[in-house]
Structure formats: structure tokens, C-alpha cells
């Protein structure tokens, strides 16, 4: 066989990998589960007022300083007129909902079914306590109804949420909104790596992208950044995008 003929085969002529029998036609019905989850979530979230999404670790204990910082952060933002959206679980999420609840503010919990860590915290408004099967549906709710994102120390899930929001803003898929990292001791190393490696060495981002990552340490600083961004003009506030 000549070299030309050796490359003249189609993918179906080769021995291809096969799916296991676990892939069944019934999986096509998954789309109806997804649609149902979207419809239920939109019906609840469309009745909420403008919110701030708070991200952070589910493993942070109530006695940890970051837990109390998240409580104070949520209370301060509630005083500014924002509802609080969290992932609905323990740790920083619980602290965010607790702060909103203590200030009689809107307290939204977007829970996800996980084999560990996740359970509904007791500080979520009954009418705004949502449970999700799919991460991607949950993420839409985090993003669409948030006028800012406050990111406290966390693990892989927190980083996933942070970088997804940054990507959506960078690619102009959502409206420009504040993304604020809270905890300079925790986040400065990551920001330095982004500046030195991603930006300066590899040029994988633009210099102005660094403006998307302010780092602060206090609730007042967070409130100031958000207020400055919106110039205290509630009439300019709207959901981040239309689907």
C-alpha cells in the first residue's frame, strides 16, 4: 500500500473505541430535567431584588476569622440594599446567609446535590431556597442575578466560580460587574502569579484584565467598590444578560 493510500481511510475504517452499555437512549430525556430546573429557578429568582453573590469554602468553620468576615460582609451589603446569594451550604456560604438573615435582608441559597460537604444552612429564606442537580444551571443563577461577586478564601469550587465569572466578563458574555477578592493574605500570591506568568511572561491576558481582580480586607472596602461602580444609582441595575 502506498503512503497516499495509507492516509485515504475514513474514521469508520479504523477500529474505534466503543461506548459502554451504560450509555442508553433514556439519557435523551435528561434535557427535560434540565429545562425543568431552569424554569423552576427562573420563577424563583425573577422575584428577587438585586443581589451580590458571595463565594467561599464550605469547609470554613464558624470559629474561623473568615467566617465572621463573611457574616460582616453580608450584613454590610444588606445595609446597602443588596440581597445575598450563596451556594446554600456550610462554611462561608452559611456565613453569608447568616449575615443577610441577621440584617433582615434577602438571603438566597443555591444548593447543589453532592456526596459530601453540602447541606442546606438554616439562614436561607424559605422562599429562596433552591436545590440543583446540575452545576451549570446553578451557575447561571449565580451570575444572572448578581450585581457583584465577592470571593472569600476557598478551594477548587471557589476558583471555578471565580474564573468562570472573570471569563464571562472578559469575553463580554455578561455585563461588567465588580469582582472583589477578600483576604489579601490568601489571594495576593494568586494575583501575583497571574500578573507575572499569565500576563508578563506568556501574554495570555491583557494588562487591563488585572483591573478585574481588586483585593481588599474589609466590608467597608467591598461596599465602597460596589457603590463607586454603580454610583449609588439603582435605576442602572439590571440582570447581567438575557438568555
Q: What is the CATH number of the domain that holds 112?
A: 3.40.50.450
How far apart CA 6 and CA 214 sit, in angstroms, is 56
pLDDT tens for residues 156-213? Answer: 999 999 999 999 999 999 989 999 999 999 999 999 999 999 999 999 999 999 999 9
Residue 22 lies in a domain: no
179, 151 contact by CB (below 8 A): yes
**Structural domain count, the chain:** 1
Domain that holds residue 110: 28-230
Question: Taking CA 133 as the corner, what is the angle to CA 101 and CA 171, rounded to the nearest 5 degrees?
Answer: 85
Residue 9 lies in a domain: no
Residue 99 lies in a domain: yes
Q: What is the pLDDT of residue 105?
A: 97
Residue 239 lies in a domain: no
β 51-55/83-86 pair status? parallel
Residue 20 lies in a domain: no
pLDDT tens for residues 35-92? Answer: 999 999 999 999 899 999 999 999 999 999 999 999 999 999 999 999 999 999 999 9
Residue 1 lies in a domain: no
pTM of the model: 0.87
Residue 235 lies in a domain: no
How far apart CA 9 and CA 18 sit, in angstroms, is 19
Residue 5 lies in a domain: no
Amino acid at each position: 500500500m502506498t503512503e497516499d493510500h495509507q492516509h485515504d481511510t475514513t474514521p469508520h475504517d479504523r477500529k474505534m473505541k466503543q461506548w459502554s452499555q451504560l450509555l442508553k437512549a433514556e439519557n435523551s430525556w435528561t434535557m427535560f430535567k434540565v429545562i425543568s430546573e431552569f424554569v423552576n429557578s427562573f420563577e424563583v429568582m425573577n422575584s428577587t431584588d438585586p443581589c451580590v453573590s458571595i463565594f467561599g469554602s464550605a469547609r470554613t468553620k464558624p470559629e474561623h476569622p473568615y467566617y465572621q468576615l463573611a457574616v460582616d460582609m453580608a450584613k454590610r451589603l444588606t445595609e446597602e440594599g443588596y440581597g445575598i446569594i450563596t451556594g446554600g451550604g456550610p462554611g462561608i456560604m452559611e456565613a453569608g446567609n447568616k449575615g443577610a438573615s441577621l440584617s433582615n435582608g434577602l438571603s438566597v441559597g443555591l444548593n447543589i446535590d453532592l456526596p459530601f460537604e453540602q447541606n442546606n444552612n438554616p439562614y436561607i429564606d424559605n422562599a429562596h431556597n433552591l436545590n440543583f442537580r446540575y452545576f451549570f444551571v446553578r451557575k447561571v443563577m449565580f451570575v444572572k442575578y448578581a450585581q457583584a461577586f465577592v470571593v472569600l478564601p476557598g478551594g477548587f469550587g471557589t476558583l471555578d466560580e471565580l474564573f468562570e465569572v472573570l471569563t464571562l466578563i472578559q469575553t463580554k458574555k455578561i455585563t461588567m460587574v465588580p469582582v472583589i477578592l477578600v483576604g489579601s493574605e490568601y489571594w495576593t500570591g494568586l494575583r501575583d502569579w497571574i500578573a507575572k506568568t499569565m500576563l508578563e511572561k506568556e501574554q495570555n491576558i491583557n494588562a487591563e484584565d488585572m483591573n478585574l481582580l481588586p483585593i481588599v480586607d474589609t466590608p467597608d472596602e467591598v461596599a465602597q467598590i460596589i457603590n463607586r461602580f454603580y454610583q449609588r444609582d439603582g435605576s442602572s441595575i439590571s440582570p447581567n444578560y438575557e438568555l
